Structure formats: structure tokens, C-alpha cells
Amino acid sequence: MYENITKCTIRLDVILIIEKRETVYVVSDSVGETAALVVKAVATQFNGDILTIEHQSYVEDFNDIEEVLQLAAKHPTIIAYTIVVPLLKEYLDRRAKEEGIVAVDLLNPLMDAFMKTFNKEPNHQPKLMRQLDKEYFRKIEAVEFAVKYDDGRDPNGILRADIVLVGISRTSKTPLSMYLAHKGFKVANVPLVPEVPLPEEVYKIPRNNCVGLIISPEKLNKIRQERLKSLGLTSDANYASFERILNELSYAEKIMKRIGCPIINVSDKAIEETADQILEVLKKERSSL
């Protein structure tokens, strides 16, 4: 019985705490993430763990603002807002004052400082941050794509890629894929190995989506010898022999000619330099269609 009373007391305490929670309404003509972060940062200075944050996103007209005011008028609260459309901002300021509700503008004071200091006018256009976010997530998606379709792991990505890189081992396919992915391109790369049959998708790649990578035999010999050393193997293994390298390069060039793709020599080039050349070559290929 005592145990039951204790449980009830705890529940009652929780209910009382919930009823006493302070509320801030985050109002925005976009998602409202900026306002929410600012509110949380301030709330931590006032035992923010008992603060309730209510969101009203994508405010587009006076009715949206009136809905928030009706809710906020029921109990002491604060409205923290990020609204860049002047007409909506002015309406919210006026109506909040009439209702006796504290409304805090989180953007316009800084926007005014920008205007005065840099002598520039703002766009007063909502959702611009979301456009930046789309660009960010596009890059993340491209990086995930490059990882998934690296080194020919899954041929399904070959025809879905913006760019396909083909070449023999140690021609910088993977670092180039990652670098181009950070520029927002979905890149797949396929290793060319004489003993390994290529997936049929390789021969269906549009030539303006594919680039072949080659390298000088001498440069490749040095790179592969260093690779063998890092693996604790002897440098005279077949992988680094000139005969093997020449055979692979000959095989690769035949494949690239069959595909009909442009070919770039990566010898003594930085990743950035090669990537820029790839984009330039493909741009010319696509413009010629």
C-alpha cells in the first residue's frame, strides 16, 4: 500500500511540474531551426530543462499568426520569431503588443546592423536557408553514393551516376570520386582488371558520363612498389612488374576505346587538377551533343 501511495505522489509531482513549464512559441516563415537553437541556448541559462518549445513553421499569412497569438494568450509565454517578410513582421509586432504578449525578433536587429554597416539591402525572402540546406544534403547524398559504388562494388550505380571513372589499380579513382562527390556529383568508379569480367553496364555508359584514367608505366611502377611495401610485401611481386603494368594499361585502353570515353593521364597531377580536367572534358563532351 505504501508503495502505491509513493507512486501516486511521484505522478502528481510530474503533473505539477508539467503544468508549471514555461513555454516559448517559435514562429518562423521557414522551418524555424534558427529560432529554436537560439531559444534553447538562452533557456540553458534558466534551467531550460523545464521549458516547452512549441513550433509554428512556414507562417505565410495573418491567419497563421493569429493562431499562435490565440494559443499564447492562454498563459504567460514568449514568442521568439524569425520572420523576414516586413508585412508579417509588423503585423506580429502590433498584434502581440495589443495582446500583451512578449514577442522577440531574432533576425531583424542583426539584419539592420548588416544594412547599416555593409550598406546592403536584404532580400526579405523566406526559406533561403532551406535552399542552402538542399545543397548541403545533395553533397551528403553524393558522398554516400560514391562510397556505395566505389571500386565496382555494385554495378547498379554505373548507369545512375553523374560521372563514371574507369581505370586500372592506383590511378586515383577513389580519391577522385570522393573529391567530385564533395562538389555534388554522384560518382561511380570501376576497376579494370584483365582477369575480371566487366559488368555489361560499363558498355552502356554514355560517353559524356564516363572518363578513362591512365598513368605512365614508370609512375605506376613506383606507386605500386610503395603500396606493396606498406602491405609488408616484397616489391618484386607481379603487381608492380613492368610487364604486368603494360598489359593492364593496354587492356584498359582497349576498354576505354570500346566505351568511347575521353581519356585523362593522371601522372604527376594533383587530385584537384585532375578533377577540374574531368569536369572540363565532360562539359565539352556534353556541349557537343
Q: Is residue 45 domain-shared with residue 93, that is, in the same domain?
A: yes
Q: Is residue 279 domain-shared with residue 152, that is, in the same domain?
A: yes
Q: Is residue 168 domain-shared with residue 120, that is, in the same domain?
A: no
Residue 131 has pLDDT above 90, yes or no: no
What SS3 state is found at 212?
strand
Element (H, E) at 210: strand 210-214
Q: Is residue 174 domain-shared with residue 243, that is, in the same domain?
A: yes
Q: Is residue 30 domain-shared with residue 108, that is, in the same domain?
A: yes
Residue 139 has pLDDT above 90, yes or no: no
Task: State which of 126, 144, 170 marks the end of a domain.
Answer: 126
Whether residue 81 is contained in a domain is answered as: yes
Q: Is residue 243 domain-shared with residue 141, that is, in the same domain?
A: yes
Residue 8 has pLDDT above 50, yes or no: no
Whether residue 73 is contained in a domain is answered as: yes
Q: Is residue 145 domain-shared with residue 114, that is, in the same domain?
A: no
CATH label of the domain that carries residue 119: 3.40.50
Element (H, E) at 126: none
Distance CA 97, CA 75 (A): 15
Averaged pLDDT score across all residues of the chain: 86
Q: According to the model, what pLDDT value does residue 289 have?
A: 65
* Average pLDDT value for residue range 84-102: 93
Q: According to the model, what pLDDT value does residue 263 have?
A: 97
Q: How many domains does the chain have?
A: 2
Q: Average the pLDDT over each of 74-78, 155-159, 182-186, 223-227 and give the range with the smallest value.
A: 74-78
pLDDT grade, residue 49 (50/70/90)?
A: low
Q: According to the model, what pLDDT value does residue 183 have?
A: 92
Task: State which of 126, 149, 178 marks the end of a domain.
Answer: 126
In the chain, which ranges are continuous DSSP H helix?
Answer: 2-20, 33-43, 62-72, 86-99, 108-118, 128-148, 173-181, 217-230, 242-259, 271-287
Q: Is residue 107 domain-shared with residue 245, that is, in the same domain?
A: no
Instruction: Return the C-alpha cell found at 141.
Output: 547524398
Strands of the sheet containing 263-265, edge to edge, are 187-191, 163-167, 210-214, 263-265
What percentage of the chain carries pLDDT values higher than 90? 57
pLDDT grade, residue 48 (50/70/90)?
A: low
What percentage of the chain carries pLDDT values higher than 70? 87
Whether residue 190 is contained in a domain is answered as: yes
Give the tens place of pLDDT for each residue, 174-232. 999 999 999 999 999 999 999 999 999 999 999 899 999 999 999 999 999 988 888 88
Residue 31 has pLDDT above 80, yes or no: no
Q: Is residue 44 domain-shared with residue 120, that is, in the same domain?
A: yes
Task: State which of 71, 91, 126 marks the end of a domain.
Answer: 126
Q: Which residue has the higher pLDDT, 169 or 34?
A: 169
Residue 273 has pLDDT above 50, yes or no: yes
Q: Is residue 139 domain-shared with residue 79, that is, in the same domain?
A: no
Residues annotated in the binding site for ADP, as ranges? 167-174
Whether residue 4 is contained in a domain is answered as: no
Whether residue 14 is contained in a domain is answered as: no
Q: According to the model, what pLDDT value does residue 276 have?
A: 95
User: Could you list the residue range(s) of the whole structural domain that residue 103 is in?
Assistant: 20-126
Residues annotated in the binding site, as ranges? 167-174
Whether residue 11 is contained in a domain is answered as: no
Whether residue 8 is contained in a domain is answered as: no
Q: Which residue has the higher pLDDT, 267 or 7?
A: 267
Q: Which residue has the higher pLDDT, 70 or 287?
A: 70
Q: According to the model, what pLDDT value does residue 135 have?
A: 75
Query: Is pTM, for the whole model, over 0.85?
Result: no
Q: Is residue 32 domain-shared with residue 109, that is, in the same domain?
A: yes
Whether residue 83 is contained in a domain is answered as: yes
Q: Is residue 278 domain-shared with residue 153, that is, in the same domain?
A: yes
Q: According to the model, what pLDDT value does residue 3 have?
A: 42
Residue pair 157/196 in contact by the 8 Å Cβ criterion = no
- Of the chain, the end-to-end C-alpha distance in Å amounts to 84
Q: According to the model, what pLDDT value does residue 237 have?
A: 83
